[in-house]
Amino acid sequence: MQRREFITLLGGAAALAWPLATRAQKGERVRRIGVLLPFDDESDPQVRQLWPVFTQRLPDLGWSEGRNIQFGVHLTGQNIERIRSGAAQLVASAPDLIVVWSNPGAAALKQATQTIPVVFAQVSDPVGEGIVVSLARPGGNITGFQNFETAIGGKWLELLREIAPGVRRVAVVYNQNIAANVAFLHTAEAASALMDIKVTAIDLHEAAAIEPALTAFARESNGGLIVSPNPLNTRNPEVLAKLAARLHLPAIYPFRLFVVSGGLVSYGFDTIEQQQGAATYVDRVLKGEKPADLPVQAPTKYQLVINLKAAQALGLDVSLQLQQRADEVID
């Protein structure tokens, strides 16, 4: 991705300085789309993978940057105050629509505006977070694409136990300030009673805390990890995957990028499908539909990815049946 594809808007300004656009065709209005992303810069793996998917879908729907749309992209990192400040600045700039990835960003925009249309992606449990009234009828100015349903916590535990039958203790690496992460923890706890597994919580908010927390957990044997989807975890896939391997902790992750980074197994929604869907919702809102009338979409497909090399390093024998069920097996 070339750097010019982003207009990085640093904190501190009262309003966005929108980039100069190529002159629109005569009579054609240029729509301004604000974007709030919970990453430090455009080099983040998720940004590099998913931003082009979103933007490349828009021309198919009649929207071209520099002709009839402009992007103002605000990269906030994971700091909650920067996210809130970014949301406030986006709203003050009065764009036609705002796109947001992440629960903290969507929650901040919920507080900042009740009028500017907002389309979210990669948001968990938007009802539980108070972002929308219901999935079928969002009821306000916000709608979008939910990434994980709360029951996924139990499914992650089930899959981890299947691939690593010796696991007796599982730590859920989560952020207690994200309601969906708390819900994942609770559904894992509920499922654990049927599997004779003890579930504990590791609440992390900064990268420096990852290694000491997981090292302390690994001091006892038969441990495993569930890594919840949140900005801190998705920003550090290699750190988490390599640390889990070194500490001999079988781990299940929410996204494929962790397994590509050396992690054992992931089970998550199709991120490409979701970004393409978000672009479709942006198109529909810009053409006059109301977010309140567009239902929040849940994933239609989940993908299971297994890293056999990581399994071998952990001394795990992945059954042929489980390999055949996987959408992708990395040797």
DSSP string, 55-114: HHHGGGGT--BTTTEEEEEEE-TT-HHHHHHHHHHHHHT--SEEEEESHHHHHHHHHH-S
CA torsion angle for 14, 15, 19, 22 (degrees, to 10)? -140
Report residue 58 as tokens: 């828009």
192 vs 25: which has the higher pLDDT = 192
Instruction: Report the pLDDT value the prediction gives residue 2, as an integer from 0 to 100.
Output: 41
Asked if 272 and 57 touch (Cβ cutoff 8 Å), the reply is no
pLDDT the model gives residue 9:
36
Report the pLDDT value the prediction gives residue 89, as an integer from 0 to 100.
Answer: 94
SS3 261: coil
Which pLDDT does position 184 carry in this prediction?
95
For residue 225, what are its two tokens?
């990890």
Q: How far apart are CA 330 and CA 218, in angstroms?
A: 26
Strand, coil or helix: what is 126? coil
pLDDT band of 11, cuts 50, 70, 90: very low
> Which pLDDT score is estimated for 8?
40
Q: For 36-85, how does the pLDDT look when each residue is reduced to its tens digit (9 = 90+)?
A: 998 888 887 778 888 999 999 999 999 999 899 999 999 988 788 999 99
Are the C-beta atoms of 304 and 267 separated by less than 8 Å? yes
pLDDT of residue 18: 53
* Look-up of token digits 């036609």: 96
Of 2 and 215, the one with more pLDDT: 215
Identify whether the C-beta of residue 87 lies closer than 8 Å to the C-beta of residue 49: no
Give the domains, in start order, of the chain with CATH numbers: 3-147+270-293 (3.40.50.2300), 152-269+302-330 (3.40.50.2300)
Q: Give the mean model confidence (pLDDT) for residues 161-178.
A: 95
DSSP one-letter string for 123-134: ES-TTTTTS-S-
Residues 137, 295 contacting (CB under 8 angstroms): yes
Tokens of 323: 């390999």
Q: Which residue has the higher pLDDT, 184 or 23?
A: 184
Q: What is the pLDDT of residues 183-217, one digit of tens each?
A: 999 999 999 989 999 999 999 999 999 999 999 99
- SS3 (DSSP) at 181: helix
Q: How far apart are CA 119 and CA 100, in angstroms?
A: 6
Residue 24 has pLDDT above 80, yes or no: no
pLDDT band for position 300 (50/70/90)?
Answer: confident
Helix (H, G, I), strand (E, B) or coil at 143: strand
Q: Which residue has the tokens 């992931």?
A: 266
Query: So what's the pLDDT on residue 26?
Result: 57
Question: Measured between alpha carbons, how far is 331 from 324 in angstroms, rounded to an integer?
Answer: 14
* Residue 217 C-beta-side C-alpha neighbours within 13 Å: 31
Q: What is the mean pLDDT of the chain?
A: 89
- What is the token pair recorded at 208? 């420096």
